[in-house]
Structure 1
Amino acid sequence: MTQIKTVGILGAGKVGIVLAQLALAAGYHVRISGSGSVQKIALTIETLVPGAVPSTNQGVVSKSDLIILAIPLSRYKNIHPKLLKGKLVIDAMNFWWETDGIREEVLDPSTTSSEQVQQYFNKSTIVKTFNHMGYHNLQEEAKPAGAKNRKALFVTGDNHDAVDQVAEFVSTTGFDTVVHYRLADGIMTEPGSELFGASLRQAELKNVIDHFDETEFGRQIKADQKTG
């Protein structure tokens, strides 16, 4: 796969800004777009992420090796699937009722959010990560590899090589990883799960994931799958 040198971030909100900061600190070139014009976000980017390049969605995608979706989940269909064709894409999104509205209007209840994102961007490779830890924790708790009490992020997707590449990227930005190779397992980190909002070390994160089916959220998911 293509070596990651330039990271493109679609979304200049709190999560997008923090991820841009982490990527810059790790030595990547960063391009970022927001919901408005380039001029509208340029001052924000210059102030909060000096060194990142504000651009249009097209400008971000065409010149980046890795794309991060850091927009409200309800807006992902505002991006034409052809724009991300052939791209490695991190889905850092979650459904959140305060910004996304009624869940049934955003998501098909029969599958996970990332599976639906992958289905929509069917010519792209989707890997889910950066979605279960709060942006403050992402910003404040990034540490170099081997550091004491380094926190961990869950990384999952259907493409083995893509997941491994994204896991390596996550490590360079300051976090250990727990890796799965099934995009549907992203449900373990969505709002309502034990992991959502949690900031855990690798062993702690792995323990929660290994016992997911025993949690209240996990039991509900299994029950829904049986009746769905």
Structure 2
Amino acid sequence: MTTIGIIGAGHIGSQIARKAVELGYEVVISNSRGPETLTDFVAELGPRAKAATAAEAAAAGDFAVVTVPLKSIRDVPVQPLEGKIVIDTNNYYWERDGRFPELDSGQETTSGLLQKHLPTSKVAKGFNHIMAREITTDGTPAGTEGRRALATASDYPEAAELVTRFYDEFGFDTVNVGPLSESWRVERDRPAYVVRQTAAELTESLDRAPRTI
């Protein structure tokens, strides 16, 4: 049985957890306030879910999902995620996170910053350009006409491949943007952001995305 460590139990993390449990995954989920604050949520999810600290969730997962505000990525545990694939859902909201000059200038990407923080992990972008509630409602079987597509990016092919499989299980096609340095194409305020698109439409949106906003 595959276990997913989910670091962050907000809108996106909780929806990924719900769908993952439905699909038969084991989930160990954490938040910044402590596992005791997740008692009701894990009870709702059932026996496949467990609340833990961030370090415990990171250690328990065969792979992990990091879904915390950008300002908090330095709190993500490093050593327990060594060698693991980490799906990063982040977007840069300077109103919430404060200014990051390297993002404002287009020199970095949000997932690139997480990869630098986790140098021994394999980071892949995922689930960042879909409304949280749609993670559990918009998926359809493979081959469905008009099936929604989501993007990923990674410096590691095996990480992008895992996201592609995970998306398919959730009911989405995948468009691979390439390395993390290209993941800005699917970040906030670009044409692909929180818009329901097929793979062809998403590819076109990624191609016309501006580097800086």
User: Would the TM-score normalized by the shorter structure come out above 0.5?
Assistant: yes
> Are 1:9 and 2:19 matched, yes or no?
no
Deviation per CA, 1:139-189, whole angstroms, max 9, x where unpaired? 220222223332110011111122112211221121110113311111011
> Are 1:104 and 2:125 matched, yes or no?
no
% of aligned pairs identical? Answer: 30
> Are 1:137 and 2:134 matched, yes or no?
yes
For the residue of structure 2 that corresponds to 1:193, the secondary structure is coil
Say which of 14, 25, 31 aligns to 1:34: 31
> Are 1:59 and 2:59 matched, yes or no?
no
Contact 2:87–2:124 (CA<8 Å) still a contact in 1?
A: yes
Contact 2:136–2:170 (CA<8 Å) still a contact in 1?
A: no
Q: CA deviation at 1:131?
A: 0.4
**TM-aligned CA distance change 1:107 to 1:181, over 3 Å:** closer
Q: Give the structure 1 partner of residue 157 of structure 2.
A: 160
**TM-aligned CA distance change 1:23 to 1:106, over 3 Å:** farther
Q: How far, CA to CA, are the matches of 1:164 and 1:104 in structure 2?
A: 30
For the residue of structure 2 that corresponds to 1:40, the secondary structure is helix
1:1-228 superposed matches below 5 A = 5-47=2-44, 49-50=45-46, 51-100=48-97, 102-104=98-100, 109=105, 110-212=107-209, 217-218=210-211, 220=212
Q: CA deviation at 1:94?
A: 0.9
Counting matched residue pairs gives 211
Deviation per CA, 1:25-75, whole angstroms, max 9, x where unpaired? 22211111111121111112323x334211122221222111000111110
Between stretches 139-148 and 111-120, larger displacement belongs to: 139-148
Q: How far, CA to CA, are the matches of 1:17 and 1:206 in structure 2?
A: 28
Uncovered stretches (5+) of structure 2, i.e. residues with no partner: none
Contact 2:102–2:108 (CA<8 Å) still a contact in 1?
A: no
Q: Please give the root-mean-square deviation of Cα atoms over the aligned residues, in Å.
A: 2.0
Q: How far, CA to CA, are the matches of 1:143 and 1:209 in structure 2?
A: 22
Q: How far, CA to CA, are the matches of 2:138 and 2:165 in structure 1?
A: 17
Q: CA deviation at 1:105?
A: 7.2
For the residue of structure 1 that corresponds to 2:185, the secondary structure is helix
Q: CA deviation at 1:107?
A: 5.2
Task: Please state which structure has a larger fraction of its residues in helix.
Answer: 1
Q: CA deviation at 1:108?
A: 7.4
Give the letter for the 2:179 counterpart. Answer: R
Contact 2:8–2:66 (CA<8 Å) still a contact in 1?
A: yes
Q: TM-score, normalised by structure 2?
A: 0.90
